Structure formats: C-alpha cells, structure tokens
Amino acid sequence: MTQRQPKEGSESGKPSKLPGRHRGDCDFPPEGWGMSECLIATINPPGAIRLGTVGKPLPGVQLTLASDGELLMRGPTVMKGYRNNPAKTAEAIDPGGWLRTGDLATIDSDGYVTITGRKKELIINSAGKNISPANIQSAVLAASPLIAHVVAIGDRRPYITALAVLDPDTTALFAAQHAIPGPAPAVLAAHPAVREAVAAAVGTANGRLSRVEQIKQFAILPVFWEPGGDEITPTMKLKRQAITAKYADTIESLYAAAGQPERIDRPGSAGAGVEGADLTTAEIAGHPQAESSRLLPRSHPPLFTIRR
C-alpha cells in the first residue's frame, strides 16, 4: 500500500490548500508515505505536523534525492527483492541498497518530504526540460474548488497546455449563485463566469510556477469525469494515455490556437474588437482575468490563452 501527499503526485484528488503550514494538533490522521516495497517510511510527527508534506523519515530510514529528483530510500524495511525476479529487483534496488521509489520529491531543511509527482509521468518538452505535471496540476487545483481535474500537457511540445474538468458539486452551487440555467457540464464550461473563474485560478497557479511550468493555454472540457470511466480510475488516478488519445483534437487545437500570429487587444484599446460570433476563447494578458477574445471554431471546448 502506498500513501502519497499531495495526492496529485500520483495524479489523483486535490492537494492540501495550505502547503507549508504548521499545525501542532489536528483532528485527522497525519499524512505519511510508504509503498509495498518498503512499508511506511515517513510520517508527520505528532505536535509538528506540516500540511502539504508526508512528514519526516521514521527512525532507521534514510532518504535522499537522485539527480533527477527521484526519492531514494534505504533502511531495514526495504524488501529483499521480487520473488524469482532478479532483473526487476536490480532495477528497483541499487548495489548500495537504495530503493528507487519512482516518486519525485523535495526534502526541506527540516527533513520534511513533499511528493511532487511520479518519475514515469514526467513531461519532457521540446527543449529537453523535465517537468512534473503533478506540480502544475496541484497548483491549479489548489487555486479553485470549481476544478475537479487538471491534466498538464507538454511532452515534446514547446510549452505547457492543460485540460480542465469542472467539479459537479461546486459548480452546481456556483451556477445557482450566478443564475446559470442548469448544471449541465457543457453549459457550465461555456459560461463566461465559470470561464473567468477558471482562468483566474490558472493565472494564480502560474504565479507560483516556474516559467517553463506555466500554462500557456487550456481548455475546459464540457463533461464531468466519473471514477472508473475512460479518464480516471476508481481510485481517482488520471489515465493519462487514454486522456491524451481521447482528447487529441482538443489538445492539437490548443497548440494551433497559440501558434496563430494575430494580435489580440484588450477591450477598449485601439484596434480592439471581434469578428463574427463564434467566439469561445478568453485571453489573459499579464493578469488572471478574462480580457479579450479570439476566433475559434465551436467544435472545440472553450480554449484559453495565458500570455505574460
């Protein structure tokens, strides 16, 4: 059994919205980390819980980071190996006894560990830069309760884009508060108030991310995702390969839209204005608010451009 925090590190659920906070007591079980190959290895110590982390190593446990950020663990609870599979054992445990966990992590100066993603899910962009999608996704999810799922895209691409899926419960409440007719996901995804709120969340997330991690465009999908469906497992993990295949046209439209050279002006500025009526994109130019529009075909979900 593996327990990881933030949950989005294994591409599931939402992270704590108070990363880095200290709490001396709590009314919920402390977060820890472990896996079947080594049992529980870290836990948040009572009286010194730090939200957003999986705590500190247990006595006898050694942790370090590989050059690519992978968490390595050594200690008495590490397995001896996989039964009758020496080749797989050699892949998992190096000659020095360090278990390659497959998790990407950071370790702060106090020894608290934060899981940031899975090594196998790393995005390698067209410039060869390694990027953790979980870090990007967690930042967006923490910025708005309206968003249930985010999928960062960018493998072999020049920059990051994202697919966003709305949360049916919080958006239903949002719809009632904003007099949006009906809770249908297609209606919600296209509504300006929802689009502006999601755009603001992406802008907030971008402010916390490095430049190479920042989302340049995103689309709100006009559907809700159900556990066990095409996109997420029963335990809420993203089926990344299935998602990128199913929404390939939408992903391509995000990069095609961003590649268009036309100028986009803020409303009220010289040259501002729109042509035609099929407008489904909002632009953010240096501020996390929807400011102007771009022509895009109705066949795609609402697309958004983030420009600094």
CATH of the domain at 167: 3.30.300.30
SS3 for 212-274 is HHCEEEEEECCCCCCECCCCECCCCEECHHHHHHHCHHHHHHHHHHHCCCCCCCCCCCCCCCC
The dihedral sign for the CA sequence 81, 86, 90, 96: positive
Q: 132 and 101, same structural domain? A: no
Check residue 22 and give its pLDDT: 40
Q: 225 and 86, same structural domain? A: no
| The amino acid at 244 | T
pLDDT tens for 220-249 read 999 999 999 999 988 888 888 899 999 999
Check residue 27 and give its pLDDT: 54
pLDDT tens for 111-157 read 999 988 787 778 889 998 888 898 899 899 999 999 999 999 999 99
Please give the DSSP secondary-structure letter assigned to residue 3.
B
Q: How many domains does the chain have?
A: 2
Q: 130 and 221, same structural domain? A: yes
Q: 243: left (phi > 0), else alpha (psi -120 to 50), else beta?
A: alpha
Q: Which domain holds residue 111?
A: 7-119
Torsion of CA 209, 215, 219, 221, to 10 degrees: -40
Boundary (domain end) residue, out of 119, 149, 170: 119
Pairing of strands 303-307, 215-220: antiparallel
Under 8 Å between Cβ of 122 and 162: no
Boundary (domain end) residue, out of 71, 86, 119: 119
As a whole number of angstroms, the distance between CA 162 and CA 238 comes to 13
Nearest to 63 by CA among 84, 34, 89, 85: 34
Taking 70 as the pLDDT cut, the residues of the chain under it are: 1-28, 258-308
pTM tops 0.75: no
Check residue 276 and give its pLDDT: 25
Q: 163 and 69, same structural domain? A: no
Q: 147 and 73, same structural domain? A: no
Check residue 274 and give its pLDDT: 25
